Amino acid sequence: MKKSRLLLKNGMLFEGYSFGAEGTAIGEVVFNTAMSGYQEVITDPSYRGQMVTFTYPHIGNYGINSEDGESVAPAAAGVIVRDLCRRPSNYRSTLTLDAFLREHGVCGIYGLDTRMLTRCLREEGAMSGIISTGEESREALMNLLLASPEIGERDLVSEVTAGETGEWKRPLDRGWYFAGPPDPAREKYTIAAMDFGVKQNILRILASLGYGVTVVPAGTSANAIRKLDPDGIFLSNGPGDPQSVDYAVTTLRNLINDFPIFGICLGHQILALAAGAQTFKLRFGHHGSNHPVKECETGVIAITAQNHNYAVDERSLVESGFRVTHRNLNDGTVEGMRHRTLPICSLQFHPEAAPGPHDALGLFARFQELIDESGK
């Protein structure tokens, strides 16, 4: 077992053992409270630039398979676990978590006290960290860490978005499970999905509902999207600070009055900025599959999957034309909004789960309602 270290920006040092790739990795250290679904978490493009600490202690026990990835390769900059299972047991498993990370050059560390690490992040907030299997001194590691750009200084969306516009044609390998067979009544609708780091399960669900889905890169202009003549526009999840994606905010401002729009996570935040509202960074973010969210109008509470470091400032929504539709019961932050006059709504949480509970899957039907309301 090769030794490894994790050094946080506040000076805390954790010692453990290496798995995955050897070398050095730098990223923002966050924690995720999901008890399963580590493959989906690690491959979620929203984790670009971040090193994920799993609070559930035993990770890797069912291996990695070819179907459950939310992208084709790991998006996380590093993986931090308490106990690593090196011999998984599951009929779908094709390789170990260790081999998967090693294949894609991602560093992992295990055998450290993830409970202490999580308490530190809760008290002081998410912070930069460095994983290393080398022999550098503590001072040298800190110098490397301090010399690297902060995650908020990078346009992470440009690192994960699609390279070109194209129709999403991947087989609906799990669509039936979430949404049933395609609905012929919806087959006439086409959706332009702005890809800020979209999860594959979102596209599966949209396609399984019968929509024709065209994925467009985050930097696509408003005129290019208009030429596609979509019935609606979907704004995807993605990594980083929404204020760093100012080009997408500008594009959306030119489209907001003309199309039904549905946004999730980063798409929700970008929509708020386009409407003149503001966003702010949470202390340690929401990452996990157990966040209670209340629908304001009905009082219905759903347990949701979440993965975001930023939130919409509710006070700034007053002049935006939006009203709050969903609220986080842990900290009261805005989890959903809907425009008062236009066919536009968005959600901060992930109704598609992957991983997580399916309580909120029915909210995808709201997109259909928006398109119907628009008369397109």
Domain boundary among 152, 168, 184: 152
In this predicted structure, what is the pLDDT of residue 210? 82
Say which CATH number the domain at 255 has.
Answer: 3.40.50.880
- Give me the catalytic one of 28, 70, 335, 352: 352
Q: How many distinct structural domains can be found in the chain?
A: 2
Query: What residues of the chain score a pLDDT lower than 70?
Result: 170-188, 375-376
Task: Tell me, yes or no, if 265 is annotated catalytic.
Answer: yes
State whether 148 and 162 are in the same domain.
no
State whether 137 and 162 are in the same domain.
no
State whether 130 and 170 are in the same domain.
no
The encoded tokens of residue 48 equal 């670009």
CA distances from 320 to 140, 172, 250, 267, 323 (A): 48, 37, 15, 16, 9
In this predicted structure, what is the pLDDT of residue 184? 55
State whether 99 and 201 are in the same domain.
no
Domain boundary among 136, 152, 168: 152
State whether 256 and 142 are in the same domain.
no
The whole-model pTM stands at: 0.94
In this predicted structure, what is the pLDDT of residue 173? 39
Main-chain phi, psi angles of 121, to 5 degrees: -70, -35
In this predicted structure, what is the pLDDT of residue 137? 95
The encoded tokens of residue 77 equal 């900059």
- Give me the catalytic one of 265, 287, 326, 345: 265
State whether 273 and 337 are in the same domain.
yes
Say which CATH number the domain at 36 has.
Answer: 3.50.30.20
Domain boundary among 95, 130, 152: 152
Q: Say if residues 327 and 296 touch (Cβ distance below 8 Å).
A: yes
Task: Tell me, yes or no, if 350 is annotated catalytic.
Answer: yes
CA distances from 168 to 1, 207, 271, 317 (A): 43, 8, 23, 34
State whether 274 and 370 are in the same domain.
yes
Task: Please calculate the CA angle 352-355-182 and round it to the nearest 5 degrees.
Answer: 35
State whether 56 and 161 are in the same domain.
no
State whether 117 and 252 are in the same domain.
no
Task: Tell me, yes or no, if 295 is annotated catalytic.
Answer: no
State whether 136 and 165 are in the same domain.
no
State whether 271 and 310 are in the same domain.
yes
In this predicted structure, what is the pLDDT of residue 183? 52
| Residue range(s) defining the domain that contains residue 273 | 157-374
In this predicted structure, what is the pLDDT of residue 189? 85
State whether 275 and 132 are in the same domain.
no
In this predicted structure, what is the pLDDT of residue 185? 54
